Amino acid sequence: MLSLALIRRGIIRRRFSFGERGDIDGRRRKGWKKTKRVKMSKKAKVNELRFYRLKAKKKMTSPNPEVRIRYKLGKAKRKEEWLIEKLRKFEVPKAPAETYDPESLTEEERHYLKRTGEKKKNYVPVGRRGVFGGVVLNMHLHWKKHETVKVSCKPCKPGQVYEYAEELARLSKGIVIEIKAHNTIIFYRGKNYVQPKVMSPPDTLSKNKALEKYRYEQSLEHTSQFIEKLEKELEEYLKHLARYKKAKEGTPKDSVI
């Protein structure tokens, strides 16, 4: 009874009001126009693609070198932006660094471990995929029977081996004994080594994703080099054009007899 009295007074709004609510919505929707999405036919799509291809072909075969260079430059820059967006998907958030006390080794111990690591044949390869979960897993598997393990980085850019050494030391909690020949790292597992339950860290890429990332990185590197080359070509052409105009303006006009 109380609720009915409150509804009549307008204090509580009715849940199902067929007149008032509908009128308000109707007033709001009077000015609206429904826009129908026109679906393109297959023939229209083909014609549109043909138009853009012809437009691109005209620019590619233009007699003006500036038009050709600018078209290639724009296309390469669009590709570069697309590759950067693709590579952002492979960024793995790093796990918070665990506090651990690295063991201090004497010079004698380091020399002994270095000689031991050089003599033994067990090694872990780091190829074009770079550092991923499988590399750390293989290091822990080698440390079951051996104190040291060699990590061979091939192919490796100049200075990249130091980045690999730092990253692997963080992920495996091993100690870097020596970096030799610019592509080989000797790791020591530590005196108090305990094999972790999860040997492949969660903040690393899988084998397939690491390969995919490498391909995108290679493509981005080549595209960046191509953009630099085109920018130099355009700069040289504009300089040549400015020189030609200056020479043309400097030449005296032939007097008409």
Dihedral pair phi/psi, residue 54, rounded to 5°: -65, -40
- Per the rule left: phi > 0, alpha: psi between -120 and 50, beta: everything else, 103 is beta
Assess if residue 111 is contained within a domain.
Answer: yes
Is the peptide bond prior to 155 cis by the omega test (within 30 degrees of 0)? yes
Assess if residue 143 is contained within a domain.
Answer: yes
Assess if residue 80 is contained within a domain.
Answer: no
**Complete DSSP assignment for 183-198:** TEEEEE--TT----S-
The number of domains in the chain is 1
Give per-residue pLDDT as tens, 36-52.
677 788 888 888 888 88
What integer is the mean pLDDT of 226-237?
A: 94
DSSP strand E in the chain: where? 123-126, 148-153, 175-180, 184-188
Residue 72 in this model has a pLDDT that exceeds 90? yes
- Give residue 33's pLDDT band: very low, low, confident or very high (50, 70, 90): low
What integer is the mean pLDDT of 213-232?
A: 95
69-72's contacts with Cβ under 8 Å and 24+ in sequence apart are 69/230, 69/233, 69/234, 69/237, 70/234, 72/230
| One-letter identity of residue 172 | S
Lowest mean pLDDT among 100-104, 139-143, 144-148: 100-104
Question: Which helix or strand (DSSP H or E) is residue 217 part of?
Answer: helix 207-250
For 61-114, what is the HEC assignment? CCCCHHHHHHHHHHHHHHHHHHHHHHHHCCCCCCCCCCCCCCCCCCHHHHHHHH
Assess if residue 144 is contained within a domain.
Answer: yes
Give the torsion through C-alpha atoms of 114, 118, 120, 122, to 10 deg: 100
What integer is the mean pLDDT of 17-29?
A: 49
Assess if residue 168 is contained within a domain.
Answer: yes
CATH code, 175: 3.30.110.60
What six digits make up the tokens of 97? 């660094």
Give per-residue pLDDT as tens, 168-192.
999 999 999 999 888 899 999 988 8
Provide the residue range defining the domain that includes 111: 107-204
Residue 151 in this model has a pLDDT that exceeds 50? yes
Give per-residue pLDDT as tens, 74-98.
999 999 999 999 999 998 887 776 6
Tell the burial category of 130 from Cβ atoms under 10 Å away from its Cβ (0-12, 13-18, 19+).
buried
Assess if residue 32 is contained within a domain.
Answer: no
Give per-residue pLDDT as tens, 152-168.
998 888 889 999 999 99
Assess if residue 157 is contained within a domain.
Answer: yes
- 102 Cβ contact partners less than 8 Å away, ≥ 6 residues apart: 175
Assess if residue 113 is contained within a domain.
Answer: yes
What integer is the mean pLDDT of 20-29?
A: 49
